[in-house]
Structure 1
Amino acid sequence: MNHIVRPLLDECVVVYLDDILIYSRDMKQHVEHLRRVFEILRRERFYVKLSKSEFAHEKVQFLGHMVSAQGVHVDPKKIEAVRTWKTPENYAKIAAPLTNLLKKNTPYKWEPKHQEAVEQLKQALTSAPVLILPDPERDYVIEADASDQAVGAVLMQDQGNGLQPIAYLSKKLHGAELNYPIHDKEALAIIIVFKAWRCYLEGRRITVYTDHCSLKYLKTQPNLSRRQVRWIDFLETHFHYDIVYKPGHKNKADALSRPAHVAAIQVEGMNPLLKGLFTHGYAIDPEIPLAEKRHLLQWDSDIAYRKGSTKIWVPNYPPLRQLLLEEYHDVLYAGHFGSNKTLTGIAKHYYWPHLAEDVQKFVTSCDTCQRMKSSKQKKAGLLQPLPVPEQPWQVVSLDFITGLPPTTSSHYAILVVIDKFSKMGHFIPTHTTARTEEIAQLFVRHIISQHGIPTTLISDRDPKFTSKFWKELMSLLGTKLAMSSAYHPQTDGQTERLNQIVEQLLRAACKDEISKWDLHLPVLEFAYNNATHAATGQTPFFLCYGRHPLTPQKPTASATVQPAHDFITTMHQLWDRTHKRLLDIQQQQKRQADRHRNDHTITVGDQVLLDTRNLDINHLPSKLRPRFCGPFLSMGVC
């Protein structure tokens, strides 16, 4: 509705939900304003119910108050019960214990002065001060005060009849505010009211009355806390104000800050269905009588509150607690946040024993969260290292480097083969369109012809290595095929690392001859195999052949030749030391990796969710795709 009548807002119209209040200075102007409002309603196809409308009134009832040109008054219907109070006929009986303490032998006698006092009390209770409308051209006066647990303030103006109230404010302190020293609480009262009434105060001169004398010197104090500096910066940036000391008993805001708790805890607006669940829950919860006996509860409007708090005590009634958990977690405006934010949201208004545990259990079992959120937990399963071979070329792994520029020999890929024991590598130029038979020929020509048939061959799940031909060839050779896990290149991490080294060597060697990179591979292969490997502490060449090759840096061979038997013994000792060293490094890596993993075992019959990062689900964009799908039943464990 605000959007519909926006052109007339603050000119002649005030809107609250579906109520429209039209105000004018005289009848002629009022008719024009009505015409403009009706034109807007007709254009937007809104209908006004005549029986609920009033026209041309000098005073109207609006939102529980009487509004007129003089200001805002209390609705007479709200105070009728006080006006019709009867004279207390049993006054003597009720007040006797007190009056007897003050005066002895004084008989009760109702006199005119007593009746006059009662009438004066009635009048005082039913004659709330009229709130005047603010005049934006006049200065404002604020009286502010703070107590241990609340702050209060009155906004006033002198429009020719002395200071009259425009608005009242009373606010309970929460959290860290309760621990502020009294000086900061009094200053906080000023900050709160300036923020609340900022729309009135900006651009006008303001006089603030406080009963805390030291606040007069707030701007000139030499030692200020960070909080006080922020407050002063806020006040000085936006307002023109003076702080004046006024004793508390003369400060109208003093009464607004006195109550230790909010005056009356109301449950107006609570859904009737929800309130019915509370009522039923209180009736059947056996813990409620025990809590009352221990003075943990206070009641208001049939709703129990935690003693000394505004939090509603939720009975041990599962449907009710489940409903509250869903409202603060599952619904769209709750956001499916984690345990901490969900707990904070509920704990603002509700309390029950073991609330945090219930929230934790509810959130961790939320199906939507499990499917849609990325996992923040450690990876499941401990690291399972591959067996360490005992001598060179028993276990071999191979992979492709692709995406290279084509050479004059039509090569644009490299088949990388590495021995898992000695770390010796072979870099074989090829192309990605090579058939499985061609790859097999390269493997025989470059690996088997030089090192023999390996017992185990490790590769990824490239179609060339999963083909029927490749499997049959390895079977005929007696070589076991070991495939890496799907979408998990870390299984053959050593080859992946060697690929990076080869690419690095190529970048350095081929910066001027990119189209001839395949011609450099033999030399780069030699350089790699003649370099000491960090894992073994030896060069791959030495571990395989028991000697170092001749290089330009080593022009002559050693004149000493070791006897064959001694050479064999030395090599076996070298391999044993290398095997032990590789085992130690592997165990160290496993301990490091397992620090970031959970020892979680999946058994047959378990229900599991499947990661969707590598799945194409209904062609959804990856940003909006569920992170997990399922659940699926575990039929077997590898």
Structure 2
Amino acid sequence: MRSYHQIRGAAEDCHKTSFRTRYGSYEYLVMPFGLTNAPSTFQMTMNGIFRELLDKCVIIYVDDILIYRCSREQHLRDLDAVFTLLHKNRLITKGYKCDFLKQELEFFCHVVSTEGVKIDPKKIKTIQEWKPPTNIKKLQSFLGFVNYVRRFIPNMAGLSASPTDRLKDHDCFWWGEKQQAAFNQLKIALTSSPVLRISDPDRPYEFISDASDIAIGAVLLQDFGDGLQPVAYESRKLQGAETNYTVHDKEMLAIVHAFKTWRCYPTGADVTVRTDHRSLQYLRAQPNLNPRQIRWLDFLESNLHYTITYKRGANNIADALTRPTAHTAAILVAQTSPLLT
């Protein structure tokens, strides 16, 4: 779309957009680019126009409109509804920027298809050519991108722990062999990232969680008829006092963090949580809980239908999400259907 310039400015506010050139003074009659509230104003306008279609067959991010359906016939009806609303509200699209009836398309650094979601191959090439950071800003840029695609990266927290620690040294930046090794492992994980399946709210979910001395992690899975497949990965470093938690509390924190992160997925659905910490399967029956554990249990009980089961650590894929090793990323992403047996 032609976006901002299709939004008429209020007559009493046009003078606020005025600017001077050697040819004279001018002011915008439409919403210009660069205004602080322009993105939110345009997003609010689009949400209002497509309110009845949002999250049913349409996703809108500013001036990008994604229309989706399982059947071709219904998809054509949705297209007609979208263009009817555009025409009714006098919004113009650019034909050369439109793609129709696609089974695979690019959308915000991702490739979305009938198989699932993966990182855009163009971004993978950029990652492969990414040079080691030489200052704080370049490191922040790299870690910012890594964080954006973190749900594709097994063991993201463990792999990024060493480079992230360098952000603390604002006055003296240095880059050692340990940081370079972690940097290389992150690049391997990013360039070999798996295809994540699109979740099906009608199917049960399964979490596999784990904790180590430095991080917590989990993987969200669903069985689509061909074995359990990953929907998303999640991991983060333990912070501050969390590093002093008992093993039991670290393992419980991993479960709570996973549920909070993926709260939009399992709402109302049955969830099986698999952990390698045996005592957690008796969590509801434990007579003596500390205040922190009571808060966590209250969160779980009030929001979710879940069952905690025990699985030995040797067979727990989530172990790799919290314990960085030289080959973790390559091993995890090489696993194919069925992911678990």
TM-score (normalizing by structure 2): 0.59
Where 2:100 maps in the other structure, the secondary structure is coil
Where 2:56 maps in the other structure, the secondary structure is coil
* 2:111 match: 66
Deviations along 1:560-613, one digit per CA (max 9) or x if unpaired, are: xxxxxxxxxxxxxxxxxxxxxxxxxxxxxxxxxxxxxxxxxxxxxxxxxxxxxx
Residue number among 230, 234, 246 corresponding to 1:181 in the alignment = 246
* 1:199 match: 264
Residue number among 209, 212, 219 corresponding to 2:274 in the alignment = 209
TM-superposed CA distance for 1:215, in Å, is 1.3
1:125 and 1:232, CA in 2 relative to 1: closer, same or farther beyond 3 A?
closer
Contact between 1:209 and 1:246, CA under 8 Å: does it hold in 2? Answer: yes
1:83 and 1:259, CA in 2 relative to 1: closer, same or farther beyond 3 A?
closer
Report the Cα distance in structure 2 between the residues aligned to 1:244 and 1:75, rounded to whole angstroms: 36
* 2:69 match: 24
1:125 and 1:188, CA in 2 relative to 1: closer, same or farther beyond 3 A?
closer
* 1:76 match: 121
Deviations along 1:432-480, one digit per CA (max 9) or x if unpaired, are: xxxxxxxxxxxxxxxxxxxxxxxxxxxxxxxxxxxxxxxxxxxxxxxxx
Contact between 1:150 and 1:259, CA under 8 Å: does it hold in 2? Answer: no
Deviations along 1:64-116, one digit per CA (max 9) or x if unpaired, are: 121112211332333458999xxxxxxxxxxxxxxxxxxxxxxxxxxxxxxxx
2:260 maps to a residue whose letter is K
* 1:190 match: 255
Where 2:52 maps in the other structure, the secondary structure is helix
2:267 maps to a residue whose letter is E
Q: What does 1:426-505 align with in structure 2 at a 5 Å threshold?
A: none
* 1:157 match: 222
Report the Cα distance in structure 2 between the residues aligned to 1:190 and 1:157, rounded to whole angstroms: 17
Q: What does 1:554-573 align with in structure 2 at a 5 Å threshold?
A: none
Contact between 1:145 and 1:211, CA under 8 Å: does it hold in 2? Answer: yes
Structure whose alpha-carbon radius of gyration is higher:
1
Contact between 1:132 and 1:164, CA under 8 Å: does it hold in 2? Answer: yes
Matched, 1:11 2:76: no
TM-superposed CA distance for 1:27, in Å, is 3.4
Contact between 1:145 and 1:210, CA under 8 Å: does it hold in 2? Answer: yes
* 2:4 match: none
Deviations along 1:290-309, one digit per CA (max 9) or x if unpaired, are: xxxxxxxxxxxxxxxxxxxx
2:80 maps to a residue whose letter is R
Residue number among 80, 85, 109 corresponding to 1:35 in the alignment = 80
Where 1:34 maps in the other structure, the secondary structure is helix
Report the Cα distance in structure 1 between the residues aligned to 2:261 and 2:127, rounded to whole angstroms: 32
Where 2:59 maps in the other structure, the secondary structure is strand
Quick one: higher RCO (CA 8 Å, sep 6+), 1 or 2?
Answer: 2
Report the Cα distance in structure 2 between the residues aligned to 1:188 and 1:27, rounded to whole angstroms: 44
Q: What does 1:323-342 align with in structure 2 at a 5 Å threshold?
A: none
TM-superposed CA distance for 1:188, in Å, is 0.8
Contact between 1:152 and 1:169, CA under 8 Å: does it hold in 2? Answer: yes
TM-superposed CA distance for 1:150, in Å, is 2.1
Q: Structure 2: any 5+ residue segments left out of the alignment? A: 1-45, 130-186, 326-341
TM-superposed CA distance for 1:251, in Å, is 1.9
TM-superposed CA distance for 1:156, in Å, is 0.4
TM-superposed CA distance for 1:125, in Å, is 7.5
TM-superposed CA distance for 1:205, in Å, is 1.7
Report the Cα distance in structure 1 between the residues aligned to 2:300 and 2:127, rounded to whole angstroms: 43
Q: Structure 1: any 5+ residue segments left out of the alignment? A: 85-121, 261-638
TM-superposed CA distance for 1:49, in Å, is 2.3
Percentage of matched positions with identical amino acids: 55
Report the Cα distance in structure 1 between the residues aligned to 2:128 and 2:287, rounded to whole angstroms: 55
Number of equivalenced pairs: 223
* 2:201 match: 136
* 2:234 match: 169
1:38 maps to a residue whose letter is F
Where 1:170 maps in the other structure, the secondary structure is strand
Report the Cα distance in structure 2 between the residues aligned to 1:239 and 1:124, rounded to whole angstroms: 31
1:83 and 1:234, CA in 2 relative to 1: closer, same or farther beyond 3 A?
closer
Where 2:288 maps in the other structure, the secondary structure is coil
Report the Cα distance in structure 1 between the residues aligned to 2:189 and 2:213, rounded to whole angstroms: 28
* 2:310 match: 245
TM-score (normalizing by structure 1): 0.33
Matched, 1:2 2:47: yes
TM-superposed CA distance for 1:184, in Å, is 0.7
TM-superposed CA distance for 1:129, in Å, is 2.2
